Structure 1
Amino acid sequence: MPELPEVEVTRRGFADRIAGAQVLAVRMGKPLRWGLGVLPQALVGRRVQGVRRRGKYLLVDLDEGLLLLHLGMSGSLRFDAALPPPGVHDHFDLATTAGTLRLNDPRRFGAAVYVEAQDAPAARKLLDGLGMEPLEVGFDAGVFHAALRRRQAPIKQVLMAGDVVVGVGNIYASEALFLAGIRPTLPASRVSRPRALRLHAAIRDVLGRAVERGGSSLRDFSHVDGSSGYFQLEAMVYGRAGEACRVCGTLVRQIRQGQRSTFFCPACQKS
């Protein structure tokens, strides 16, 4: 599933190029997770003012309203002046004077939703429950620790829930916990302040490096130009079950948490 680094890399790949462009046409394919909210032709003539990100949502600001885009479980966006005809998994095209933005999503858990404003009920339903942005100055370590103290669930599942901090998906939660030396099964309420500070720094470090490496390309994800990310190639524990820890040589273990695979080093992450 595309997480914060993949969504941010996607945003950077087309935001500058589409800014200022006028919408020429909107094509909808098979139904996505949520409906567009307006007739496609209602967006023709609108002008793109910019592209922001909130969690795993891309916010395409128009001169009237905005589009909320989500990549779902398997989606990716392409942006080009000359894309081929849409295929069976291409479910949304935003044709503009600068090029066409296309959402490809084999599983159709993604979405393209139009709202009149970010405080509209439909937008608030999707965005209001999101936690702190880990790569922004508002990601306060003290607030982070206080939020963890109120949660009894295992720390990895709390990180992935998205209501304390957004965008720390399965790969990045495993990697950040390894870097902080915290076992993924430890209840979040038992993470001490010093360890929470290390985890806070580890989250910023892992996600920042992932953005620099173009995210992680597993299964369906690719950049807006079709290229791949490379962060997964330098993962310390994720996907390395049975292999030697890069730090201590102990074999990396794999367990299941919330129906997701978790990877950790039993020596480097003792508790």
Structure 2
Amino acid sequence: MPELPEVEVTRLSFADRIAGAAIEGVRLGKPLRWPLGCSPDSLVGQHVLAVRRRGKYLLLDLERGLLLVHLGMSGSLSFTLNPPEAGKHDHFELRTAQGVLRLHDPRRFGAVVFATHEADPVAQKLLGKLGMEPLGADFDAKRFHLGLAKRKSPIKQVLLAGEVVVGVGNIYASEVLFLSGIRPSTPASRLSRPRAARLHQAIRDVLARAVERGGSTLRDFSNAQGEAGHFQLDAMVYARAGLACKVCANPIRAMRQGQRSTFFCAQCQKP
């Protein structure tokens, strides 16, 4: 599933190229997770002003409204001048004077949703409960600790929930907890302010490095230019069960938390 770094890498790979483009046509394939919410023809003639990101959502600002794009479990975007004929898994296409933005999504858990503005109830239903942006200026260490202190669930589950900080998905949750020396099963409310501060910095560091490395390509992720990511090659614990820890040489362990695989080092990460 594309996580925040993959979504940010995707944004960076086409945002500048589509900015200012006039929309010439919209093609819909099979239904996605949620309906578009407007007539496709109402988008024709508008210009794409900019592309932003909020958590795992891409926001395409238009002259009148915005499009919220979510990649779901298996989605990816491409932006090319002359794309091949749409395939059976290409379910949304925005044709512009500067290229064609296409959503490819075999499992159809992704979505493209129109909202009149960011305060629109349609947009707020998707964005309203999202936590602080981990790569943004508002990701404050004190607020982060206060948010964790109110939650008794295991820290990894709190990170995945996205209500304290948004976008720390399964891959990166394992990595940031390793870097900060925190066992994934530790209740979030038990973290002292110094431990929460280390976790806060680890989140910033790991996600920024993942963006620099082009995200993680575990199956078929690629950015809008078709380029794969390489962060998975740097992983300290994720998907390394049974292999030696790169720090202490003890074997990396795996366990299930909320139906997701968690990887950790029992020696380096303390409860």
Q: Which residue of 2 aligns with 1:221?
A: 221
How many residues are aligned here? 271
Q: Which residue of 1 aligns with 2:116?
A: 116
Q: Which amino acid aligns with 2:158?
A: V
2:185 maps to 1:182: no
Partners of 1:33 and 1:167 in 2: CA distance: 19
Partners of 2:102 and 2:227 in 1: CA distance: 15
3-state DSSP class of the match of 2:87?
A: coil
2:189 maps to 1:195: no
Superposition pairs of residues 213-252 of structure 1, within 5 angstroms: 213-252=213-252
3-state DSSP class of the match of 1:177?
A: helix
3-state DSSP class of the match of 1:109?
A: coil
Asked whether the 8 Å contact 1:131–1:165 carries over to 2, the reply is: yes
Superposition pairs of residues 62-73 of structure 1, within 5 angstroms: 62-73=62-73
Tell me the TM-score normalized by structure 1: 0.99
Q: Which residue of 1 aligns with 2:208?
A: 208
Partners of 2:117 and 2:149 in 1: CA distance: 34
Partners of 1:13 and 1:120 in 2: CA distance: 28
218-227 vs 195-204, which deviates more? 218-227
Q: Which residue of 1 aligns with 2:81?
A: 81
3-state DSSP class of the match of 2:204?
A: helix
3-state DSSP class of the match of 1:216?
A: coil
Partners of 1:218 and 1:121 in 2: CA distance: 35
Partners of 1:166 and 1:107 in 2: CA distance: 23
Partners of 1:117 and 1:215 in 2: CA distance: 29
Q: Which amino acid aligns with 1:68?
A: L
Q: Which amino acid aligns with 1:46?
A: Q
Partners of 2:270 and 2:188 in 1: CA distance: 15
Q: State the shift of 1:130 in Å.
A: 0.2
Asked whether the 8 Å contact 1:53–1:59 carries over to 2, the reply is: yes
Asked whether the 8 Å contact 1:75–1:220 carries over to 2, the reply is: no
Partners of 2:94 and 2:10 in 1: CA distance: 15
Q: Percent identity?
A: 68
Tell me the TM-score normalized by structure 2: 0.99
3-state DSSP class of the match of 1:45?
A: coil
Q: State the shift of 1:198 in Å.
A: 0.2
Superposition pairs of residues 42-81 of structure 1, within 5 angstroms: 42-81=42-81
Q: Which amino acid aligns with 2:223?
A: H
Q: Which residue of 2 aligns with 1:6?
A: 6
3-state DSSP class of the match of 2:189?
A: helix
Q: Which amino acid aligns with 2:188?
A: A
Partners of 2:218 and 2:239 in 1: CA distance: 11
Q: State the shift of 1:59 in Å.
A: 0.3
Once superposed, which parts of structure 1, at least 4 consecutive aligned residues long, lie more than 6 Å away? Answer: none
5+ unaligned residues in a row in structure 2: which ranges? none
Q: State the shift of 1:270 in Å.
A: 2.4
Q: Which amino acid aligns with 1:59?
A: L
Q: State the shift of 1:20 in Å.
A: 0.4
Partners of 2:27 and 2:263 in 1: CA distance: 41
5+ unaligned residues in a row in structure 1: which ranges? none
3-state DSSP class of the match of 1:53?
A: strand
